[in-house]
Amino acid sequence: MARHGVHVRCHVSVRIALEEGIHVAHSPSLERVEYRLGTILTTLVESHPDRPARPRVVIVGAGFGGLAAARALRHVPVDVTLIDRHNYHLFQPLLYQVASGLLDPSEIAHPIRTVVRHARNVDVLLAEVTGIDVAPKRVLTTGAAVPFDFLVLATGSATNFFGIPHLEEHATGLKDLPETLALRARVLRAFEQATRCSDPAERRRLLTFAVAGAGPTGVEFAGALAELFRHVLPKDFPHLDFSEASVVLVEGTDRVLGTFAPRLGQSAARRLERKGVRLLLGRSVKDVDGSALILDDGERIDASMIVWTAGVTAAPVADLLGSPASRQGRVRVTPQLHLPERDDLFVIGDAAEMEDRGEVLPMLAPVAIQEGKHVAGVIRARLRGASEPPFRYFDKGTMATVGRGAAVAQIGPIRINGLIGWLIWVFVHLMYLVGFRSRVIVFFTWAWNYFFYDRPVRLIVGTSSDEPRIRREDV
């Protein structure tokens, strides 16, 4: 017992040192020793029968924000439950590379349990959250209810079809893994079907792919598809006439990459056109039927697939909380990232409408990550009775690729274009990717693709019934 007491005191001093950020030196080996010591002592303390109950933090969503919060709470004396309906964390910015056959899903999706396995106070729960009981403070899930003292909602966003007729039924978003794999299968299956199709009009329709929304996701996906059709698939389908294959990018405004400087948008537009993408600017989708999309001026574009990247809305977090939501479905939060009327209910990332220096922060991964870390700081400050700092977003810039070897980047007043932009894009995405193995594999895949134009994951998985997109059943 006396030995246990020594351990507990020793542990407390290590923990205080960690919490205060007192690192004698930042050598990795010292940090490893410090971490191991902390882990052993945490186990001893946690197994002590007299240990007082610690505050329970429940985080819903293991995306960028939720994961950052869970990791940052690692050394805070709380018990964390991280709930997600998937058992993996998804790196959404590279989904389009899975859809276009460049990356394998395992390179952009990582088991949550692996990512947080060093955080001994974090427990993972695979469940869908269905409601929040704010009075008894319980999260309702498809399994058991989970009690909390602090709740962090980091549920992200969903595709917004804006109520356009038949769009949800016939178009697909680019938001999650099953959708992305179905999309990849749909593209490849269309080429397989085209090889057996003797009707030229129908063959052209099969080989026409429409992308709606010329924001970063639409531009990146359209560029990647155009390269797939131009450089990779002709080798697989030598008897197909690839002049019949096309990518159409439809955008309601008159600009590509509207959130970027006009010069960068124009450069991206030129590059896309050089790759063979047909740009339809200032035109919007009015309707979709079983084999075509219909634009606002009545033009009908026969296509086998429409990918909708033109709108996102926050996942229905407002419904869960019973709070009013913004037009984008986001919930307004204070500078400390909690609801104005409840300082124990935090919302972060895409789900939160956070105003910083007079502007609502965009739905971006760095915003979610920084908010996740900040929320952990607010909880830590609350437990110590310290003042809770307001959130300030540090904008490191935005970027988008336009196919292999070219990207546009906007970093403060600096505008970068072309290969240099792409190298920065590569570096930044490798930094943010989870896991050393993924970074190495992705780096080599990109280098390989740069030199050889290869899309190695040209696999059709699942059945065609997983692909409920525009199609004619009689093909």
Ligand X SMILES: Cc1cc2nc3c(=O)[nH]c(=O)nc-3n(C[C@H](O)[C@H](O)[C@H](O)COP(=O)(O)OP(=O)(O)OC[C@H]3O[C@@H](n4cnc5c(N)ncnc54)[C@H](O)[C@@H]3O)c2cc1C
Q: Return the active site residues.
A: 220
Q: Which of 14, 58, 64, 189 binds ligand X (CB under 6 A)?
A: 64
Min separation Cβ 61 and ligand X, Å: 3
Q: Which of 213, 349, 403, 421 binds ligand X (CB under 6 A)?
A: 349
**What's the residue count for the chain?**
475
Closer CB to ligand X, 204 or 469, in the complex: 469
Picking from 92, 454, 402, the residue whose alpha carbon sits closest to that of residue 222 is 402
Q: Is 342 helix (H, G, I), strand (E, B) or coil?
A: strand
- Helices 436-452 and 418-432, axial angle in degrees (round to 10): 160
How many of the chain's residues bind ligand X (CB under 6 A)? Answer: 33
Q: Which of residues 381-400 bind ligand X (CB under 6 A)?
A: none
Picking from 402, 18, 38, 409, the residue whose alpha carbon sits closest to that of residue 223 is 402
Give the interface segment with ligand X, choosing from 16-24, 44-52, 58-66, 328-336 (CB under 6 A): 58-66
Q: Which of 364, 379, 402, 416 binds ligand X (CB under 6 A)?
A: 364
Strands (E), 183-227: 208-212
- DSSP structure string for 231-292: IIHHHH-TTS-GGG-EEEEEESSS-SSTTS-HHHHHHHHHHHHHTTEEEEET--EEEE-SSE
Closer CB to ligand X, 207 or 351, in the complex: 351
Q: Which of 128, 241, 297, 466 binds ligand X (CB under 6 A)?
A: 128
Residue nearest to ligand X (CB): 63
CB atoms within 10 A of CB 327: 7
Closer CB to ligand X, 156 or 421, in the complex: 156
User: Mask 81-120, x = binds ligand X (CB under 6 A)?
Assistant: --xxxx-----xx-xx------------------------
Min separation Cβ 159 and ligand X, Å: 8
As a whole number of angstroms, the distance between CA 190 and CA 131 comes to: 41
As a whole number of angstroms, the distance between CA 150 and CA 152 comes to: 7
Q: Which of residues 309-328 bind ligand X (CB under 6 A)?
A: 315
Q: Which of residues 189-248 bind ligand X (CB under 6 A)?
A: 216-217
Q: Which of 251, 350, 353, 467 binds ligand X (CB under 6 A)?
A: 350
Does the footprint of ligand X cover residue 133 (CB under 6 A)?
A: no
- Burial label, 277 (beta-carbon count in 10 A; 0-12, 13-18, 19+): buried
Q: Phi then psi for 196, rounded to 5 degrees?
A: -105, 5
Does the footprint of ligand X cover residue 366 (CB under 6 A)?
A: yes
Pairing between β-strand 352-353 and β-strand 331-332 as defined by DSSP bridges: parallel
Q: Which of residues 433-472 bind ligand X (CB under 6 A)?
A: none
Min separation Cβ 174 and ligand X, Å: 5
Closer CB to ligand X, 316 or 468, in the complex: 316
As a whole number of angstroms, the distance between CA 254 and CA 261 comes to: 14
Min separation Cβ 221 and ligand X, Å: 8
Q: Which of 57, 58, 59, 66 binds ligand X (CB under 6 A)?
A: 66
Min separation Cβ 198 and ligand X, Å: 36
Q: Which of 57, 58, 62, 224 binds ligand X (CB under 6 A)?
A: 62
Min separation Cβ 274 and ligand X, Å: 22
As a whole number of angstroms, the distance between CA 91 and CA 112 comes to: 12
Min separation Cβ 275 and ligand X, Å: 19
Q: Which of 98, 174, 250, 277 binds ligand X (CB under 6 A)?
A: 174
Q: Which of 38, 63, 311, 329 binds ligand X (CB under 6 A)?
A: 63
As a whole number of angstroms, the distance between CA 346 and CA 150 comes to: 8
Contact 150, 346 (CB under 8 A): yes
Contact 424, 409 (CB under 8 A): yes
Cα separations in angstroms, 144 against 6, 82, 88, 139: 38, 14, 20, 9
Does the footprint of ligand X cover residue 417 (CB under 6 A)?
A: no
Closer CB to ligand X, 63 or 265, in the complex: 63
Q: Which of 57, 58, 60, 457 binds ligand X (CB under 6 A)?
A: 60
- Tell me, rounded to whole angstroms, the distance of Cα 148 from its chain centroid: 26
- Going by C-beta distance under 8 Å and a sequence separation of 6 or more, which residues neighbour residue 428? 399
* Residue ranges binding ligand X (CB under 6 A): 60-66, 83-86, 92-93, 95-96, 128-129, 154-156, 174-175, 216-217, 315, 349-351, 363-366, 368
